[in-house]
Structure 1
Amino acid sequence: MQSAAKTSGRLIRNELLNSAWTGFFAGCLHTLSGPDHLAALAPLSIGRSRVESAIVGALWGCGHDAGQVIFGLLFLMLKDRLHIEVIRTWGTRIVGLTLLVIGAVGIMEASEVPTPCFALENGECDVSIIEPLDAGASGRKNLGFATFATGIVHGLQPDALMMVLPALALPSRWAGAAFLGMFLVGTVFAMGSYTVFIGSCTQALKERVPRITEKLTWVASLVAISMGLAILISQFFGFSLY
C-alpha cells in the first residue's frame, strides 16, 4: 500500500512539474514569437535602466496575461455565442492602432529631447561634447497604466486559446492549473527579459554614441508604425499579418 501511494505521489508530482515547465516554455515562446509584441515594447524600453525596463516588460506581460485570461473565460462561458472570426478581425485592427499610437508617442518623445550644447570660447555651440545623460529619462512619461492597457489589448486575441485549450486537455485539473499558471509566468518573464536586454544594450551604446537613444527610438517607433499600418492595410485585402 505504501509503495503504491509513493508511486502515485511521484507520478502526480512528475505530472505537475512537466505541465508547469511546458506551460512556462510555451508562454515564453508564444510571447517572443509575436512580432507585434516585440515592436510594441521596443520603443517603450529603449534608453531605460535595467530596473525600469524590467518593470515595463513585466507590466506589459501582466496586461497580456490579463487579456488572455479575460478572453479565455469569455470563451469558456460563451463559446456557443462567440464569433471568433469577427473578434479576430476587430482585435487585429485594434492591435494595429495601438502600434500606431506607440510609434507616434515614441517619435514625439524622441523629438522633445533637447540637444545638448557646450559653449565654446568663440560663442559657438558644440553638440558633440556633452552626452545628454538624463534627458531621455526625464523626458519619458510614466507609462505604467498605458503599458498595462496595451498588453491587455494584445492579449485579447483568439490565440489566447493556445493557453486555455491545452490546460483543458491535460488529465487533471491540477495539471491544467500548473500549465496555465506557468504559461502566465513565462509571458511576464519573457517580456521582462526582452525589455531588459533592449534597455541594457541602449544604455551601453549611449555612453559611446551621442544621441543614440533618440535615434534608436525613432527607428523602433517607425518599425512599430510600419507594422501597425501593414496590419491595418492587410485587412482590406482579405488576409491578416497578425
Structure 2
Amino acid sequence: MILAIDGLLAGAAHVLTGPDHLVGVAPLAVEEAVDATRPGEVRRIRPWLVGASWGVGHGVGVAILGVLGQTLLSATQVDVASGWSERLVGVLLVGLGLHAIRRGRGLVIHEHQHIHDESRHVHLHVHEHGHKGAKHGRGEQHRHAALGIGLVHGLAGAGHFWAVLPSLAMGRTEAATYISAYIVASIVLMTAFGAVLGRITRSLGTTWMPRFFQSVGAVTVAIGLWWLATTFS
C-alpha cells in the first residue's frame, strides 16, 4: 500500500513538474478541439483521449526502462538511454510546436448564430487557407502522435530518477507495484489536462482560438529548444 502511494505521488510530481510533458500534449489537444469544429466533421470532441494516449505511452516507456533496469541494464546504462531519449524529446517538441504555429496561422473561424426555441446558439466553423476539405481521422492521428511522444518521454529524463532508479532497489513484485501506480497517476493527470485544455479552446471565440493555437505552438518550440540546449550542454 505504501509503495503504491509512493508511486502515485512520484508519478504526479513527475508529470506536473515537467513543462516538456505539458507542451507535449497541449498542441495536440488544442488541435483536436479545433479540428472538431471543421465542416463535415461528425466525431465527438475528445481532447481528453489525447492526454490519455500520452499518459499510456509515457507509462509504457517508463515500464520498458524499468524492466530493462531489472533485467539487462545497469543504472548507468539506464541513464545513458534516458539521455539520448531526452534529446529526441527536444526535437519532437520543436517539430510539434512549428506544426501548431503553421496550422494556427492558416485557420479562419466563422461564427454562426442560430435561433432555436427562442434561444440563440453560437456555433464555430473552422476553415483553413490552402486546405481542401476536412481530413477525417485526425482524431486518431492526434492520439497516435501523443502515444508516440509519451513513449519517448517515458524513456527520457527525470522518469528514470522518479520511477526506474527507485525500483532498481526493490524486488520485482514491489517494483511492479511502484511503477504501476506511477503509470496510473501519469495517465489520470494527463487525461484531465487534455480535457481542460480542450474545454478552454472551445470556449474561445473567432479571434482568440487561432491566436491561442499559435501561442501554444510558440511555447512548445521555446521549451523544445531549451530542452535541446540543456541536454547537449
* Same fold? TM cut 0.5: yes
Q: Percent same amino acid among aligned pairs?
A: 28
Alpha-carbon distance change, 152 to 228 in structure 1, aligned in 2, over 3 angstroms = same
| CA offsets 1:186-227 (integer angstroms, 9 cap, x no match) | 1100111111111112222x2xx3232211110010111111
Alpha-carbon distance change, 230 to 81 in structure 1, aligned in 2, over 3 angstroms = closer
Alpha-carbon distance change, 30 to 234 in structure 1, aligned in 2, over 3 angstroms = closer
Question: 1:166 and 1:86 mapped to 2: Cα distance?
Answer: 17
**Structure 2 residue 40 is the aligned partner of structure 1 residue 56:** no
Counterpart among 96, 105, 109 of residue 102 in structure 1: 96
Alpha-carbon distance change, 71 to 85 in structure 1, aligned in 2, over 3 angstroms = closer
After TM superposition, list the pairs within 5 Å mapping 1:178-217 onto structure 2: 178-204=177-203, 206=204, 209-217=205-213
Counterpart among 14, 17, 30 of residue 33 in structure 1: 17
> Which residue is equivalent to 1:93?
87
| CA offsets 1:136-177 (integer angstroms, 9 cap, x no match) | 8x568332221111111111125333213434545x755443
More strand by share: 2
**Structure 2 residue 101 is the aligned partner of structure 1 residue 132:** no
Q: CA deviation at 1:102?
A: 0.8
What code does the residue aligned with 1:193 have? A
Q: CA deviation at 1:84?
A: 4.8
**Structure 2 residue 152 is the aligned partner of structure 1 residue 160:** no
Q: CA deviation at 1:57?
A: 0.4
SS at structure 1 position matched to 2:176: helix
Question: 2:193 and 2:101 mapped to 1: Cα distance?
Answer: 21
Question: 1:112 and 1:178 mapped to 2: Cα distance?
Answer: 47
- Residue pair 1:109, 1:139 contacting (<8 A) in 2 also: no
What code does the residue aligned with 1:151 have? G
> Which residue is equivalent to 2:219?
223
Whose Rg is larger? 1
**Structure 2 residue 216 is the aligned partner of structure 1 residue 234:** no
**Structure 2: any 5+ residue segments left out of the alignment?**
37-43, 113-121, 129-133
Question: 2:63 and 2:177 mapped to 1: Cα distance?
Answer: 14
**Structure 1: any 5+ residue segments left out of the alignment?**
1-16, 119-129
TM-score, normalised to structure 2, is: 0.75
| CA offsets 1:12-34 (integer angstroms, 9 cap, x no match) | xxxxx332232222212211111
SS at structure 2 position matched to 1:210: coil
Counterpart among 49, 53, 65 of residue 71 in structure 1: 65
What code does the residue aligned with 2:19 have? P
Question: 2:95 and 2:156 mapped to 1: Cα distance?
Answer: 19
Q: CA deviation at 1:185?
A: 0.7
Question: 1:194 and 1:115 mapped to 2: Cα distance?
Answer: 24
SS at structure 1 position matched to 2:125: coil
